[in-house]
Structure formats: C-alpha cells, structure tokens
Amino acid sequence: MFAVVLLLLVPELREKNILPWQVFNSANEKPQPLSYAKAVRSAGPAVVNIYSEDIQVNPTYGRQSRKVTLGSGVIMHSQGYILTNYHVVQSADLIVVVLQRGQELHAELIGYDVLTDLAVLKVQANNLPVIPQNNALTAQVGDVVLAIGNPLNLGQTVTQGIVSATGQSGLSTSYLQFLQMDAAINEGNSGGALINSNGELVGINSRKFTQANPNLNIQGIFFAVPYQLAHKIMLKIIEHGRVIRGWLGVEANDSLTSLKGFVIGNVTPYSPAMKAGLQSGDLVYQIGSMQLQNAKQGLDVVAEAAPGSVLSFMVSRDNQQLTIPVTIAEVPKSLESLPEN
C-alpha cells in the first residue's frame, strides 16, 4: 500500500521506471572512494625505467662497469622518442630502457639541454604506449598532481601532491620557471611523468630542492619541467640535436615605473648588449613589435631569436626614446648550467 502511495505522490518515479524500494536502497549505498587509478592506468604504461651505464677502461683490468644510474623516462611519441633528465644519462656509454610490460630496449641519445636538464632518447620498437598530452594544458597552483617513476629501483610507483608554484614555457630558463610541487621525487624518479588527475602530462620530474646549509631540514619542495617547455625542448633537440638559444648578455629587472618592460643592470663585457651600446639603467619597453610587460617576457624574446638575427630594442634613457639594433648571439657554453638550488 505504501509503494502505491509513493508512486502517486512522486510521479517522477513512474516516468523513470524507478521502483519504490530502490529509493531506499540507493540512499544506503556508499559513495565511490576518490581514486586516481584511471589516470595512472592511462599514463603509467608510457613511463619507463632507465638504466644508464658508464664504462671505465682500466689499464690493468680492461673494461669495467663503473656506475649504473637509475632514472625514469616518458614515451612522448609512437616513433620511439623518450624524454628524461640529462643527469640520468650524462656520460652514459650504454642506456637501457625497460617498458612496464618488461621489454628491454637499447636507447640512442639524440641530444640534451643542460639548462632544463632534459635529454631525448630514441628506441626502435612498435606499438609503444604514448603518454596522454594536452597542448592547451596550463598548470595552476593547487592542481592535484601525481609523480610516476622508478624510485630506488623499487619498480613503478606513484606519489601524490599539489602544484605549489607554476612554471613558464619560455627558453630563458631557471628554477623560477620550473613547476614546484610537493609530490615526492627520490633517486630513480628523475625523468618520470608528472600527470594530472586525468592522466595528462603536466611535466617531467626533475629533482628536489637542495640547500648548501645541511642544517636546514627542507621538505616538500620538488621541481618538474613544465610540459609545454619540455615539449618545445624535445622538438628542438629532434630537429637540431641541441637547443639553440639567443643571448643578450644583461642582468634584467622588472620595471617598477608606469612604463612596462625591464631595466638593464650589469652588462656582460663583449656581449651583444655591450657591442650594440645598451647601458646599465636603460629601460627596454619594446623589442621589435612586442610590447614588453616584464623582464621574463623580454628575455624569452631574446632566447627564441636565432643567433645572428637583429632585434630592434626600444629604450628609454634619460627621458629620451631610442631605437637600438642588437645582433643576437648564441648562449656561451660557460653559461649553460643551472644552480644547485
């Protein structure tokens, strides 16, 4: 009798063919637990283990294995291109990639970039799993992220955290442009994938923050190369075997006046800036047709420029507006390094 009354009072039950007792059963059902298993299943097969071996030739004992470095990598393309950290394969004589299905492949080092600590490997294989990628993806502070890798050679594991600070996609790179997150990165995680809750690649895991003072107990500060920057670096390495950056040779600080751009600090001797006549204190507010908002934007324009190209710098100096042509050079090898912290 109660069921008939319920159907009369709630006609939606008749329209949706819901039986009265199902209303009470559904109320007692437990909600599904929050899980990132689907994301890990989607991205995990494309994260590989990397073992790089450095061979030492001993005059007495001949060739001996000196060091095996553990790391991880991410399959970015079905043709066998893999992104990893440069420090994982640095000085390696032999690089072995192990897929999650157990297949071992020898890898060729296509090229590397010291500034972003990225390297591109290539393996010869078919039907490779490729990491899900979204070219429009922009990481935001607070995003949930998962780090997938092979820490301490324990096999593929996943750590979870959030994005603490966002990175940029420009080539004028420092740790300030890396993604910062608190998903744990240990030895062997380097070069693995940082993904979002949809399984899409957010970045390439790099390393944890290091501090010269051993008495400081720093936790939860880890870095990853943002996906868009990593993808850009990969394409340049595949095309040229290395990353070619333009160089100006100045210390740049954001303008604090109403005129946006950057103020030049120190000028490196014999640099393109000094040869062109740029001076300390100049405010650069435009390069070519690009109106600048800050120093990062200006340095990115320079870094993206081909060495030998001429850029027009619009400069404010002593209340005068000047246009100064600058011939961009390539970044010197001595400057291609990242600080340890």
CATH number (domain holding residue 327): 2.30.42.10
More confident residue, 78 or 56: 78
Q: Output the pLDDT for position 214.
A: 57
Contact status, residue 52 vs residue 65, Cβ threshold 8 Å: no
* Secondary structure element (H or E) that encloses residue 23, with its range: helix 20-28
* CA atoms of 299 and 330, how far apart (whole Å): 13
Instruction: Say if residue 188's pLDDT is above 80.
Output: yes
Q: Output the pLDDT for position 166.
A: 83
Task: Judge whether 10 lies within some domain.
Answer: no
Q: What is the pLDDT of residues 247-296, one digit of tens each?
A: 999 999 999 989 999 999 999 999 999 999 999 999 999 999 999 999 98
Query: Between helices 20-28 and 2-9, what is the axis angle to 10°?
Result: 90
More confident residue, 177 or 39: 39
Same domain, 76 and 177: yes
More confident residue, 168 or 264: 264
Same domain, 303 and 260: yes
Q: Output the pLDDT for position 7.
A: 46
* CA atoms of 181 and 213, how far apart (whole Å): 21
| Residue 131 exposed, middle or buried by CB count within 10 Å (0-12, 13-18, 19+) | buried
Catalytic residue flag (residue 117): yes
Number of independent structural domains in the chain: 2
* CA atoms of 251 and 154, how far apart (whole Å): 44
- Mark which of 240, 271, 302 sits at the end of a domain: 240
| Residue 116 exposed, middle or buried by CB count within 10 Å (0-12, 13-18, 19+) | buried
Q: What is the pLDDT of residues 198-241, one digit of tens each?
A: 999 999 998 766 554 555 555 667 889 999 999 999 999 999 89
The C-alpha torsion from 291 through 294 and 296 to 302, rounded to 10°, is 30
| Nearest CA among 244, 269, 226, 252 for reference residue 315 | 252
Instruction: Give whichever of 8-12, 76-80, 162-166, 179-183 has the largest mean pLDDT.
Output: 76-80
Q: What is the pTM of this model?
A: 0.79
Instruction: Say if residue 40's pLDDT is above 70.
Output: yes
Same domain, 201 and 255: no
Task: Judge whether 30 lies within some domain.
Answer: no
Task: Judge whether 318 lies within some domain.
Answer: yes
Same domain, 80 and 126: yes
Report percent pLDDT > 90 for the chain.
57
Same domain, 110 and 69: yes
* Residue written as token pair 């320079």: 302
Q: Output the pLDDT for position 218.
A: 59
Catalytic position from the list 72, 164, 172, 190? 190
The partner residues of 57 in beta bridges, in order of sequence, read 63
Same domain, 313 and 194: no
What token pair was written down for 117? 């600590």
Q: Output the pLDDT for position 183.
A: 87
- Mark which of 188, 207, 240 sits at the end of a domain: 240
CATH classification at residue 89 = 2.40.10.120
- Mark which of 240, 265, 297 sits at the end of a domain: 240
* CA atoms of 43 and 46, how far apart (whole Å): 6
Task: Judge whether 260 lies within some domain.
Answer: yes
In the three-class reduction of DSSP (H, G, I as helix; E, B as strand; rest coil), residue 190 is classed as coil
What token pair was written down for 152? 């301490």
Q: Output the pLDDT for position 69.
A: 80
Q: Output the pLDDT for position 146.
A: 96
The partner residues of 75 in beta bridges, in order of sequence, read 82
Task: Judge whether 321 lies within some domain.
Answer: yes
Q: What is the pLDDT of residues 63-122, one digit of tens each?
A: 565 667 889 999 999 999 999 999 999 988 899 999 999 999 999 999 999 888 999 999
Q: Output the pLDDT for position 341.
A: 38
Rounded mean pLDDT, 151-162 = 87
Residue 89's domain comprises: 35-240
Same domain, 281 and 170: no
Q: Output the pLDDT for position 337.
A: 59
Catalytic residue flag (residue 309): no
Contact status, residue 209 vs residue 223, Cβ threshold 8 Å: yes
Catalytic position from the list 113, 117, 143, 282? 117
Instruction: Say if residue 31's pLDDT is above 80.
Output: no
Catalytic position from the list 52, 72, 87, 282? 87
